[in-house]
A and B are shown apart, each in its own frame.
Chain A
Amino acid sequence: MKLKIVVLVCALALAATSSAAQDAVKYDVLDLPAVPSRLASKSLIYSISKFGDRYFATGQHGHILYSDDGGTTWQQAEVPVRSSILDVDFPTPELGWAAGHEGVILHSSDGGKTWVKQYDGLRYGKEGLAYYQALADANPDNELYPLLVEEMEFAISQGADKPLFRISFPTKDHGYALGAYGMVLETENGGKDWVPVLENVQNDGFYHIFDFAPMPQAGKFFASGEAGLLLAVDINEEIAQRVETIPWEGSFFTIIDAANGGLVMGGLRGNMFRTDDVGATWTAVKKPPTSAIVDSTRLADGRLVAVGIGGEVLVSTDNGVSFTNVQVGGAGQLYTSSGYIYAVAEGPDDTLLLGGPNGIRKVTLPK
């Protein structure tokens, strides 16, 4: 009798645990808010940028940080997701957008202190499919739409696997988000609706788009990407055309506009190229060999700074014709987690803010 009771109790306990396990909520970073952490500014940072007087840095676990003292101390924003956040943009001091992994787009209307989710990658395939299916049905002669329908079906099968690398709002209503596998989203109502605009982008291979920089002409910019992809984008014409003059087929992770109207691109294996004629011709930048160039910025005094992922800091005083290695005060050991650089921004008073796997470092830059 006793034994039977024991067996029964065990069975009940088993049933209880297994039903508890079945009831378990699925762990998904898209559903979970970021948690305040003392380590946020000391762990992986993907991007650093400055809008007005406020600096922003983005990282893993839904980290969006802001600093009002030139990057010395950082506050952590309230963010509704735990995705890796890769970029922010603030067209006005109050209104800002952020983008990141899982195709997430966030919006802030209080200068970046609190954020709400506007979009995620699960919607990309679903809404994109409906959008392009409608277009394909309405335009049966168009050859591109069925391809895009296929791409969206593939996107649905993959789930929210695509990061958005950059987000840009030329005005407070009109914005773009650029990302992996050629993902380009556009909004004209401050992010209430995000619409894929792949049909206007000449990127048949669905290559990743990593960065963008404005051309001297208003309303135009370049977007650089994987395998030598460079797109000349015209906002007014709503078209992005592939630039065929690129002399090299490696990936360009970063592109920066020089003070003289030239453009400089950097990428894999430390390759850098520049153009003075809006992409008609390209020349190789004179520079020492470095690891892959992953970010660049233009300082207030017109110097250009490019960083190698291994920890090299390169400076150009001639609008990108040549770069030289500089020793920044407080640099870590090259090729170690203390030395890796993932992101760069100009700090106040001859400093650079460097982001990397160990967080944000404020280093001094020789004049």
Chain B
Amino acid sequence: MAHATQSDLPVIANLTEFDEQSGTFLEKLVFNHRGIVLALCVLVTLVLGYMATGIQLQAGFEKTLPKAHEYVLNYQANQNGLKGLGNNLRIVIAVKEGTIFTPDNLRYLEKVNDEVFFVPGVDRNGMKSLFTPNTRWRVVTEEGFEGGPVIPGDYDPDSPKSIAEIQLNMVRAGIIGDLVANDMKSMTIIVPLLDKDPETGERLDYAHLSDKLEEVRTRFAADDPDKTIHIVGFAKLVGALIDGLLAVMGFFAIAVVIATLLLYLYTRCIRSTLMVILVTLVAVTWQLGILAWLGYELDPFSILVPFLVFAIGVSHGAQKLNGVIQDIGRGTHRYIAARYTFRRLFLAGVTALLSDGVGFAVLMIIQIQVIQDLAITASIGVVVLIFTNLILIPVVLSYTGVGKKCVELASREVKSQEDMHVLWRFLLSFTKKGPAAAAIIVSVVLAVGGFYVRQDLAIGDLDPGAPELRPDSRYNRDVAFMIDNYSVSTDVFAVIVKTEENGCIDYEGLSMANELEWRMRQLEGVEDVGGLNIRTRQIMMGLNEGFPKWEALFRNQDTINYSVTELANLDYVDPGCSIWPMPIYLADHKAETLTQVVDTLEQFNEEWPSADIQFLGAAGSAGFEAATNIIVKKANTEMLFYVYGAVILLCLLTFRSVPGVICAVLPLMLTSILCEALMVWLGIGVKVATLPVIALGVGIGVDYALYVLTVILAKTREGKDLTTAYYETLNFTGRVVALIGVTLAAGVVTWSLSPIKFQADMGILLTFMFIWNMFGALILMPALAVFLIKPNKDAQPA
């Protein structure tokens, strides 16, 4: 990459003296028709801007699954048979004073219950609570079964006798811990959802449903300090994520303001600052428009791409602006200055953008849709930036020029080494052996320490509740409430049990399911196991008058058949009697817990291969997380390998010097190690969201090296000593490097405020990487150069 120095092109103040046919073909094409280029850009912006308004938000979970992993394939192949796992919401209505069994509280609960019943999207037949007629009690008598609805038709909340009857029925129905809390202070409504509206046939709109439920919550619990409503379930989680997406959009505005301020502080020119920001926003508009046009939806991952595109765009815009300002400062006409800048920096800019692109492109190897989408959308953004920030900015600058103040600033004499700001002198000191050695020793110590800490780097999500959201989010507080008061867990690993059609009644198969269940129960992290085999044992006892010594899977085929038939009606097994889930309820979703479950399943399958019954992994949130962890762990190493491979290759092509590559890459590696150590320290595990961070950090981080080291290498090849070379580099591109580091960080640091936990994690880690890479490029890189790069003694310093 040839970074031409500022002084190699003639200063031309008068436009007529300029040869319009000079420069590259592309330059002539653009600048000799700059009116058309500008008009085209305005037109494209209008069209794509219109399209961008139609972009959809979505927060579905399918795209975060590793699509090629066998667990996901198994789930997708058997999805229709696994209704029992269901898309349910659990709504908990709690009272603080007394129990739910007071006349007032019962009336209140019934009202909320009825209200939920009419929320669109609710499968009303399947809804289950204390108040629904399908919640029944049953006891065995000498005449067979006797039972009825828990709340009978003649129920009267004002009659103590009636309330006592309900309490007895509730106990006999065995719904404590499920529909009524263990402490009697709350009740649950289980709300199955319809995938499609039966009248309109439209797909369930999660955002709309979530809003409706929020409305019910506000109406019934917001003003009443004695009552609370907690809503847990995938649909509500999606609702919370979409709210989070909207919040993140707001952060974009903050990022724009910060970047504008930074750029202004650097240039002191309102006109050009606004121009660069505006053109970069045009880039974001184009990118969004193209995504909408291609049918992409914004999810919690890809919503972050506009931030990145904006940050990268501003930093490259600053580059261009820097060049133009310096030329104008020297007296060149604004049109010619813009052309010069284009001539000098277009190729360099393309190379830098391509190196960013490498970081994105490497992500394509990860077989997880959201990450691949992230890679594609970000790559689109980078291509857009080539048009807007490398072409459009110089063209616009050729019209507008820059403000007087910044020209004055730029035309000041370059300060000598001694007169430089203390910060620059500090940086320059690293070209001396002593400080350089110190910097390297400190880095080695950091690297060793970081390496030691990163051994504890965990895979997967570590916090309880829905990992997508913060532990103290409304949703996760609702989950915590649920877990504290009910015998349920939200971390479910569901083994998919598969047989031939009508094979689910086979004694041997159910017997093997008992074995697997028992093995799972031995694991520390397993709280409970459910499934057809367990319920079959209980029903078989029920069919034998409820005598406990019958609670076993005994090999009486008639009894098994009868029990399973009853359970098929309750969705414990599909109507074809061939697929059923064995949900394993876990204490948490830590990788260690999931690995134990996966290993136990694999070992069981190895020991008991069967042609008649298969125990497949796995559905349920924990099943998918287990699969994701497996993929993520593998991808993490693979991705480092590829991203470093690509960066090393890129550096080698650019520098044509092995010591140069070492100088460029070692600081990046230090940052990668420290980033992982930081993850350990912050309790962030390696997960879908953190995979892109290191790739992006390294891919964008190498920009700094490209800007700084190319110039240093060029100067040392001319025979200058390292200190002089670095001094001249700092004057030329070094300051922009600092600006780039800060603007990139400003673009991502706002994510750390996101209500979506993984966005916050990404924001913190990326900010760290961008800043730390900047220091690496400005301190460690010259320090390494002291020992690795020798000035060319044969060349005479110019």
Question: Which residues of A pack against B, CB within 8 Å?
Answer: 18, 20-22, 24, 26-29, 37-39, 43-44, 46-47, 60-61, 82, 84, 86, 101-102, 158-163, 165, 208, 210, 226-227, 248-251, 253, 268-269, 291-292, 294, 309-310, 333-336, 340, 342-343, 357
If A163-B554, A309-B546 touch, whether A27 touches B177 (CB-CB below 8 Å) is no
A160 touches B555 (CB 8 A): yes
> Which residues of B lie under 8 Å from residue A82 when comparing CB positions?
515
Chain B residue with the shortest CB-CB distance to A25:
B608
A161 touches B555 (CB 8 A): yes
**Among candidates A39, A60, A210, A291, residue contacting B522 with C-beta atoms closer than 8 Å:** A39
If A159-B555, A161-B556, A309-B546 touch, whether A24 touches B610 (CB-CB below 8 Å) is yes
B555 touches A102 (CB 8 A): yes
Chain A residue with the shortest CB-CB distance to B509:
A27
In the complex, given contacts A27-B508, A27-B512, A38-B522, what are 16 additional A-B residue pairs having Cβ atoms less than 8 angstroms apart? A21-B610, A37-B518, A61-B518, A158-B557, A159-B555, A250-B141, A251-B142, A251-B545, A268-B142, A269-B140, A269-B142, A291-B139, A292-B140, A294-B548, A335-B172, A336-B487
> Which residues of B lie under 8 Å from residue A226 when comparing CB positions?
545
**Among candidates A20, A160, A208, A335, residue contacting B176 with C-beta atoms closer than 8 Å:** A335
B141 touches A268 (CB 8 A): yes
B552 touches A309 (CB 8 A): no
B550 lies within 8 A of chain A by Cβ: yes
B153 lies within 8 A of chain A by Cβ: no
B552 touches A336 (CB 8 A): no
B552 touches A163 (CB 8 A): yes
Interface string of B368-383 (1 = CB under 8 A from A): 0000000000000000
Interface string of B167-211 (1 = CB under 8 A from A): 000011010110000100000000000000000000000000000
B421 lies within 8 A of chain A by Cβ: no
21 contacting pairs across A/B (C-beta < 8 A)? A24-B611, A39-B522, A46-B548, A60-B518, A86-B549, A102-B555, A161-B554, A162-B554, A163-B554, A227-B142, A249-B142, A269-B142, A292-B140, A294-B548, A309-B546, A309-B548, A334-B171, A335-B172, A335-B176, A336-B182, A357-B551
> Which residues of B lie under 8 Å from residue A309 when comparing CB positions?
546, 548
Rounded to whole Å, the gap between the CB of A205 and the closest CB of chain B is: 14
B508 touches A21 (CB 8 A): no
Rounded to whole Å, the gap between the CB of A136 and the closest CB of chain B is: 26
CA separation between A345 and B91, bound complex, in Å? Answer: 42
B522 touches A21 (CB 8 A): no
> Which residues of A lie under 8 Å from residue B556 when comparing CB positions?
158, 161
B608 touches A27 (CB 8 A): yes
B548 touches A43 (CB 8 A): no
A269 touches B182 (CB 8 A): no
Rounded to whole Å, the gap between the CB of B28 and the closest CB of chain A is: 53
Interface residues on B, range: 35 or more
Rounded to whole Å, the gap between the CB of B275 and the closest CB of chain A is: 60
> Which residues of B lie under 8 Å from residue A60 when comparing CB positions?
518, 552
A165 touches B551 (CB 8 A): no
A44 touches B512 (CB 8 A): no
CA separation between A265 and B555, bound complex, in Å? Answer: 29
Q: Which of B134-151 contact A (CB under 8 A)?
A: 139-142
Chain B residue with the shortest CB-CB distance to A44:
B551
CA separation between A58 and B790, bound complex, in Å? Answer: 82
CA separation between A39 and B508, bound complex, in Å? Answer: 24
B174 touches A335 (CB 8 A): yes
Q: Which of B678-715 contact A (CB under 8 A)?
A: none
B550 touches A163 (CB 8 A): yes
If A27-B511, A102-B555, A163-B552 touch, whether A294 touches B547 (CB-CB below 8 Å) is yes
If A46-B548, A101-B552, A158-B556 touch, whether A24 touches B521 (CB-CB below 8 Å) is no
B98 lies within 8 A of chain A by Cβ: no
B182 touches A333 (CB 8 A): yes
A28 touches B511 (CB 8 A): yes
Q: Which of B522-579 contact A (CB under 8 A)?
A: 522, 544-552, 554-557
> Which residues of B lie under 8 Å from residue A44 when comparing CB positions?
551
Chain A residue with the shortest CB-CB distance to B142:
A250
CA separation between A253 and B608, bound complex, in Å? Answer: 37
CA separation between A38 and B550, bound complex, in Å? Answer: 24
Chain B residue with the shortest CB-CB distance to A86:
B549
CA separation between A310 and B549, bound complex, in Å? Answer: 15
B609 lies within 8 A of chain A by Cβ: yes
> Which residues of B lie under 8 Å from residue A161 when comparing CB positions?
554-556
CA separation between A20 and B608, bound complex, in Å? Answer: 11
> Which residues of A lie under 8 Å from residue B548 when comparing CB positions?
46, 294, 309, 340, 342-343
Rounded to whole Å, the gap between the CB of B75 and the closest CB of chain A is: 22
> Which residues of B lie under 8 Å from residue A160 when comparing CB positions?
555
Rounded to whole Å, the gap between the CB of B322 and the closest CB of chain A is: 58
> Which residues of B lie under 8 Å from residue A335 when comparing CB positions?
171-172, 174, 176
Rounded to whole Å, the gap between the CB of B590 and the closest CB of chain A is: 20
> Which residues of A lie under 8 Å from residue B176 when comparing CB positions?
333, 335-336
CA separation between A162 and B544, bound complex, in Å? Answer: 12
A27 touches B515 (CB 8 A): yes
Chain A residue with the shortest CB-CB distance to B518:
A61
> Which residues of B lie under 8 Å from residue A163 when comparing CB positions?
549-550, 552, 554
If A20-B609, A310-B171 touch, whether A84 touches B177 (CB-CB below 8 Å) is no
A46 touches B140 (CB 8 A): no
If A38-B522, A46-B549, A226-B545 touch, whether A269 touches B555 (CB-CB below 8 Å) is no
**Among candidates B552, B555, B557, B611, residue contacting A21 with C-beta atoms closer than 8 Å:** B611
A43 touches B521 (CB 8 A): yes
CA separation between A113 and B554, bound complex, in Å? Answer: 26
Interface string of B597-622 (1 = CB under 8 A from A): 00000000000111100000000000
CA separation between A21 and B549, bound complex, in Å? Answer: 34
CA separation between A309 and B550, bound complex, in Å? Answer: 13
> Which residues of B lie under 8 Å from residue A340 when comparing CB positions?
548
Chain B residue with the shortest CB-CB distance to A357:
B551
CA separation between A102 and B511, bound complex, in Å? Answer: 13
> Which residues of B lie under 8 Å from residue A43 when comparing CB positions?
521
Chain B residue with the shortest CB-CB distance to A289:
B168
CA separation between A82 and B553, bound complex, in Å? Answer: 12
- Most chain A CB within 10 A, of B511, B512, B547, is at B547
> Which residues of A lie under 8 Å from residue B182 when comparing CB positions?
333, 336
Chain B residue with the shortest CB-CB distance to A37:
B522
> Which residues of A lie under 8 Å from residue B547 when comparing CB positions?
210, 251, 253, 292, 294
Nearest 4 CB-CB pairings of A with B: A250-B142, A21-B611, A342-B548, A161-B556
Rounded to whole Å, the gap between the CB of A337 and the closest CB of chain B is: 8
CA separation between A22 and B610, bound complex, in Å? Answer: 8
- Most chain A CB within 10 A, of B139, B521, B522, B552, is at B552
A336 touches B174 (CB 8 A): yes
> Which residues of B lie under 8 Å from residue A336 when comparing CB positions?
174, 176-177, 182, 487
> Which residues of A lie under 8 Å from residue B609 when comparing CB positions?
20-21, 24
Rounded to whole Å, the gap between the CB of B295 and the closest CB of chain A is: 36
Chain B residue with the shortest CB-CB distance to A18:
B611
> Which residues of A lie under 8 Å from residue B172 when comparing CB positions?
310, 335
> Which residues of A lie under 8 Å from residue B142 when comparing CB positions?
227, 248-251, 268-269
Chain A residue with the shortest CB-CB distance to B519:
A35
Chain B residue with the shortest CB-CB distance to A270:
B139
Chain A residue with the shortest CB-CB distance to B183:
A333
CA separation between A251 and B143, bound complex, in Å? Answer: 10
CA separation between A227 and B545, bound complex, in Å? Answer: 10
Q: Which of B90-130 contact A (CB under 8 A)?
A: none
> Which residues of B lie under 8 Å from residue A165 when comparing CB positions?
549
> Which residues of B lie under 8 Å from residue A26 when comparing CB positions?
508
Rounded to whole Å, the gap between the CB of A164 and the closest CB of chain B is: 10
CA separation between A299 and B468, bound complex, in Å? Answer: 57
> Which residues of A lie under 8 Å from residue B549 when comparing CB positions?
46-47, 84, 86, 163, 165, 210, 342
CA separation between A357 and B546, bound complex, in Å? Answer: 13
> Which residues of B lie under 8 Å from residue A251 when comparing CB positions?
142, 545, 547
> Which residues of A lie under 8 Å from residue B611 when comparing CB positions?
18, 21-22, 24
Rounded to whole Å, the gap between the CB of A155 and the closest CB of chain B is: 11
Chain A residue with the shortest CB-CB distance to B171:
A335
